[in-house]
Structure 1
Amino acid sequence: MTRNPMASRHRWIYLGAIVLLVGMLVTALLTYSELHETNEANRKAEQLSEALTAAGYPVPSQSQIVHTLGEDGGAVCEDPADALKQAQWKYGMSNGASGPGQRPVLSDREVVFAESIVLSVYCPDKLAAIKEKIDDLKLDDTVRN
């Protein structure tokens, strides 16, 4: 019994077509999920823009918010009440010197509360823990309008 060389050639065409279709299916699924994530990120960014505007804060562009915070808040929502995050947060509220010259400063109340607005939009379940930390800070009106 001899094999037909045409049947072998057709088998490769069928296999190639199957691989191509599977590749297109995977691409379509990934594109769909990315589009869904982008829509969610845009919705939350718009919500944040409205909240910041209502509170009187300057608002970054929509694309900056989407690229920075995405749909889940990014680094802002990764356990904001964690001790290391709090240390980094408080370090940002120092005078900027290093070593023995570094001193805490009175941070502006409005700057600190802006983060709570971001948390209320992107991860409201973590807002209560950070509000307790904010209440313990010594804040004042230090930024000129």
Structure 2
Amino acid sequence: MSPTRFASEHKWIYVGAIVVLLAFVVIGLVNYETVKKTNKTTDKANQLADAAVDAGYPRPDTDTIVRALGTDGGIVCENPGGALKSALWKINVSNGAAFVGQRPVVGDTRALRAEAKIIEIYCPEKLDDFHDRLDDLETDDTVRR
């Protein structure tokens, strides 16, 4: 049996080996990107948890941070200095009443600092816009620890 005859009769072995090899390459690339993304997400969550401890708060659960913020900061980094976010922040800093009884109050400075820390870690390019939008808010240390 000549080598060319063997190769032509068994080319399905070569095709099968190439298909299996390509499948392994694709699986390897997907797994690599997943591990890389998971490590980056965990690093950012640990950095945020460390910042919370440095600020005097108990260490939050990093798994919760990972689920909530992912690698890109999630909803916190979606236009943080925009009019809608600013309005929602101002509405949430109120006396807790609804409709006509709702009144603005002086918000706690630490709440703004906490959100700024999230933006600093997850989307630092948006931090200046966030500060520009919320600089006109009156804040003070209103919440006791």
Provide the secondary structure at the position in 1 that maps to 2:103: coil
Provide the secondary structure at the position in 2 that maps to 1:30: helix
Shift of 1:40: 0.6
Q: Is 32-41 or 56-65 further displaced after alignment? A: 56-65
Q: Does residue 33 of the first structure (1) align with residue 33 of the second (2)?
A: yes
The residue aligned with 1:118 is 118
| Aligned residues with identical type, % of pairs | 49
Shift of 1:18: 5.5
Unaligned runs of 5+ in 2: 1-9
The residue aligned with 2:103 is 103
CA displacement, residues 6-46 of structure 1 (integer Å, 9 cap, x when unaligned)? xxxx7877766655554443332222111100101111112
Q: How far apart are the structure 2 equivalents of 1:91 and 1:58? A: 27
Q: Is 57-66 or 95-104 further displaced after alignment? A: 95-104
Q: How far apart are the structure 2 equivalents of 1:17 and 1:94? A: 66
Q: How far apart are the structure 2 equivalents of 1:84 and 1:115? A: 15
The residue aligned with 2:7 is none
Shift of 1:51: 1.9
Q: How far apart are the structure 1 equivalents of 2:16 and 2:99? A: 64
- Contact 2:52-2:60 at 8 Å conserved across structures: no
Q: How far apart are the structure 2 equivalents of 1:111 and 1:143? A: 10
Q: How far apart are the structure 1 equivalents of 2:13 and 2:91? A: 63
The residue aligned with 2:128 is 128
Cα RMSD, aligned residues only: 2.5
Q: Is 22-31 or 80-89 further displaced after alignment? A: 22-31
Q: How far apart are the structure 1 equivalents of 2:19 and 2:96? A: 57
Q: How far apart are the structure 2 equivalents of 1:58 and 1:70? A: 21
Alignment of 1:63-102 (within 5 A): 63-102=63-102
Aligned residue pairs total 140
- Give the TM-score, by structure 2 length: 0.79
Q: Is 12-21 or 135-144 further displaced after alignment? A: 12-21
CA displacement, residues 66-91 of structure 1 (integer Å, 9 cap, x when unaligned)? 11111111111111011112122222
Q: How far apart are the structure 2 equivalents of 1:19 and 1:58? A: 52
Unaligned runs of 5+ in 1: 1-9
Q: How far apart are the structure 2 equivalents of 1:22 and 1:75? A: 37
Q: Is 123-132 or 16-25 further displaced after alignment? A: 16-25
